[in-house]
Amino acid sequence: MISLEICIDAANAVDTAQDVGAAYAGGAATVELCADLATQGLTPAHELVRVARVAFGRRHGLMVMIRPRAGDFVYTPHEVALMQTQIEQAAEAGADGVVFGLLVPTATSYAIDLPNTALLTNTAKRLGLKVTFHRAFDELPKPHVHAWLDQLIALGVDRVLTCGAALASGKRAADCGACLADLIAHARGRIEIVIAGGVMVSNLPALLAQLPKPAAGAKPTFSVHSHSGACDPVTRRISISMIEKLKAALDSEPAYTLRPHQPGDIGWVISRHGALYHQEYGWDIRFEALVAQIGADFINRFDPHYERCWIAERHGQPVGAVFLVKKDAQTAKLRLLLVEPSARGLGIGKRLVDECAIFARQVGYKKIVLWTNSVLTAARGIYQAAGYRLIESEPHHSFGVDLIGETWELDLV
């Protein structure tokens, strides 16, 4: 079961007791206690931590924000000393864990403040507290996200809170599923990925569909964090019923899953391309022959280190596919993107294209190229949104119709 964390804006004793009590009654596994959520959360008052401890009972999972001021996450030695004191006070008040994040500026961005993160982590561990590195993580340069995660693991950090995009981007976790899935895969259970950022009942199924499904009986490697999704839409207070709806969405089957190809899949890809492109665009059987040749080449020349085929499944049936094949040592080629009409609107096409980019970066490709046709407007929209650029276009007559062929390219460095 995927755990749910509820973020609490601790403004006063009455509201804190009510909100934490609702989180407890609704079945939240953990709560993150903050002050002033409008500024992304600050250290709550010592007495409110005590109130929250009483309201959350003996359930282990009271996490307390340690952030002495609003603004950036670069702290002075005096502020670091204050954070150390606040950790000690949180432990004394009954916290089970603390949440903080410290950065240092670089020439172009930020890096983790390793010495002070180590200092605060060691302080927390000495007091028996779990450590969560908060969304300061999302301010780090994305090309090195695996290295940042490895640094936190080496320091003994237990959890990292992330949306998969910078705070200023305005993106929600549901918009960053591929990045989050990549992070979960890299973590391999060594650190808990706590997914945050606009998580609601309405977008949770789409988010979960993009993430690895925990194996039966295995401990999930990620959890979900929500504040707005747990609030009553009228009172804006934490609601038991809203938490129960979030938990129900977490326990439901995902809209679709992805898996590698297996015997029979390539034949399905060929058949469905032939049928769908004839039905939707009037292309003749010569297109099916082209797809059959691409499929045969993929099977006969398959290089498992540099190539992939992903199959999207829904209710046990294939509903989508994409291939990434090697063109040369620097370049991968995206081929045969397909989503069944019955599964369109679930984000499968975007997910498949994102998976290609993630894998291509992992194995060292510098760019991805693809060839498509201007009439395929839905696919073109996905490519453009993913950062692909139209390089050239040329009219041609193929498959019994007049078309405009297009070459698109995505730079990976």
- Backbone φ and ψ for 402, nearest 5 degrees, come out as -85, 130
Q: Which H or E run includes 333?
A: strand 331-339
Task: Decide if pLDDT at 215 tops 70.
Answer: no
Say what the pLDDT of residue 216 is.
Answer: 61
d(CA 202, CA 183): 23
Task: Decide if pLDDT at 385 tops 70.
Answer: yes
Hey, what long-range contacts does 324-331 have (CB within 8 A, 24 or more apart)? Answer: 324/356, 324/359, 324/360, 324/368, 325/298, 327/369, 330/365, 330/366, 330/367, 331/365, 331/366, 331/367, 331/368, 331/369
Spatial contact of 187 and 219, defined as CB atoms under 8 Å apart = no
d(CA 38, CA 54): 25
Alpha helix (H) residue ranges in 282-365: 285-301, 348-362
The pLDDT confidence band at residue 358, using thresholds 50, 70 and 90, is confident
Spatial contact of 53 and 45, defined as CB atoms under 8 Å apart = no
User: Has this prediction a pTM greater than 0.75?
Assistant: no
* Two domains, one topology: 4-251 and 257-411: no
At 85-113, the pLDDT tens digits run 999 999 999 999 999 999 999 999 999 99
Q: Which amino acid, one-letter code, is at 230?
A: A
- SS3 call for 32: strand
Say what the pLDDT of residue 217 is.
Answer: 63
Spatial contact of 332 and 303, defined as CB atoms under 8 Å apart = no
CATH number (1.10.730.10, 3.20.20.380, 2.102.10.10, 3.40.50.150) of 4-251 reads 3.20.20.380
Instruction: Classify domain 257-411 at the CATH class level.
Output: alpha beta
Longest dimension (CA), the chain: 76
Say what the pLDDT of residue 206 is.
Answer: 83
Domain extent listing, the chain: 4-251, 257-411
Spatial contact of 312 and 352, defined as CB atoms under 8 Å apart = yes
Q: Which residues contact 158 (CB under 8 A, 6 or more apart)?
A: 97, 130, 131, 132, 191, 192
Residue 259 forms beta bridges with which residues?
311
Say what the pLDDT of residue 362 is.
Answer: 83
Spatial contact of 226 and 4, defined as CB atoms under 8 Å apart = yes
Task: Decide if pLDDT at 166 tops 70.
Answer: yes
Q: Which residues contact 349 (CB under 8 A, 6 or more apart)?
A: 320, 337, 339, 378, 379, 382
Task: Decide if pLDDT at 214 tops 80.
Answer: no
Residue 320 forms beta bridges with which residues?
312, 339
**Token couple for 176:** 């960053």
**Residue 343 CA neighbour count, 13 Å, CB half:** 25
> Tokens 């200023």 sit at which residue?
168
Tell me which of 351 and 92 has the higher pLDDT. Answer: 92
Q: Which amino acid, one-letter code, is at 322?
A: V
> Tokens 């993107």 sit at which residue?
337
Provide the edge-to-edge strand list for the sheet that holds 317-326.
257-260, 308-314, 317-326, 331-339, 367-373, 401-411, 389-398
At 180-210, the pLDDT tens digits run 998 999 999 999 999 999 999 999 988 888 8
At 254-307, the pLDDT tens digits run 778 889 999 999 999 999 999 999 999 999 999 999 999 999 999 999 999 999
At 61-92, the pLDDT tens digits run 999 999 999 999 999 999 999 999 999 999 99
Q: What percent of the chain has pLDDT over 70?
A: 99
d(CA 190, CA 194): 13
Please choose, from the candidates 234, 226, 195, the residue with its C-alpha nearest in 3D space to the C-alpha of residue 26.
226
Task: Decide if pLDDT at 331 tops 90.
Answer: yes
Average predicted confidence (pLDDT) for the chain: 94
Tell me which of 413 and 289 has the higher pLDDT. Answer: 289
Spatial contact of 34 and 44, defined as CB atoms under 8 Å apart = yes
What is the average per-residue pLDDT within 150-154? 98
Q: Which residues contact 37 (CB under 8 A, 6 or more apart)?
A: 7, 9, 227
C-alpha distances out from residue 27 to 15, 161, 175, 243, Å: 18, 20, 26, 7
Task: Decide if pLDDT at 20 tops 80.
Answer: yes
Task: Decide if pLDDT at 373 tops 70.
Answer: yes
